Amino acid sequence: MPRILPGQTDLYALTDSRLSLGRPLPVVAAALLDAGVRILQYREKKLKAGKMLEECRILRRMTQNAGACFIVNDHIDIAMLVGADGVHIGQDDLPVQEVRRLVGPEMIIGLSTHSPEQAVSALKAGADYIGVGPIFATQTKEDVVPPVGFEYLEWVARNVDLPFVAIGGIKEHNIAQVTARGARCCALVSELVGAPDIPAKVEAVRRAMRK
């Protein structure tokens, strides 16, 4: 399984069928993978479990063929059933230690964090990477916490010896501000899956990150 972690690659894409301009998931995923995205997270909040399982099986095959890392958001059971590379959980989900008991030693576990205390706890609990955010206000999640801004991001970059991905409202026009403050990997949702030309947007975002 590809153990590609944030920091080993620059972009981390998340799916969202509501923002994909009506395009089927395989079409969007193929465009992302063909553009060189090497971490793809399946995050769909409004679908039934059977549909999610079906879609994750498709994405598992596609990411394997592309040599990319496949992460499933929240649904540990689906991640295990499809042989995903990892699972991403939030602060209100099962504790990292319990997830580890379920998924075994090899599967990647990512944990969303919003404060220094949560980052330290994630490190102690054995998370493989953390999400840092939301950096900016975002509308792609309904239960989102208030933006943490740059202060927490800079703190993590200075103090946490764990791979991390910055997330939350990150777009082409502001991503340079995020990388300037220590983020080597950024997660994007609407900016990528909602782009009419996904490969062109991936290229533009990468150019912006290098400014």
Whether 1 maps to a domain, the answer reads no
pLDDT at 1: 58
Whether 120 maps to a domain, the answer reads yes
Q: How many domains in the chain? A: 1
**Alpha-helix runs per DSSP H in 14-148:** 25-34, 49-66, 76-82, 96-103, 116-125
Whether 44 maps to a domain, the answer reads yes
Residues classed as catalytic:
43, 112, 141
pLDDT at 45: 86
* Residues 36, 202: Cα–Cα separation, whole Å: 8
Whether 39 maps to a domain, the answer reads yes
Whether 41 maps to a domain, the answer reads yes
pTM: 0.96
One digit per residue, the tens of pLDDT, for the chain of length 211 reads 568 999 999 999 999 999 999 999 999 999 999 999 999 999 998 899 999 999 999 999 999 999 999 999 999 999 999 999 999 999 999 999 999 999 999 999 999 999 999 999 999 999 999 999 999 988 776 667 889 999 999 999 999 999 999 999 999 999 999 999 999 999 999 999 999 999 999 999 999 999 8
Give the residue numbers spanning the domain of 45: 11-209
Whether 59 maps to a domain, the answer reads yes
Whether 81 maps to a domain, the answer reads yes
What are the phi and psi torsion angles at 111 (to 5°)? -135, 130
CATH code, domain with 130: 3.20.20.70
* Residues 208, 203: Cα–Cα separation, whole Å: 9
Q: Where are the beta strands (DSSP E) in 114-162?
A: 129-132
pLDDT at 139: 74
Whether 6 maps to a domain, the answer reads no
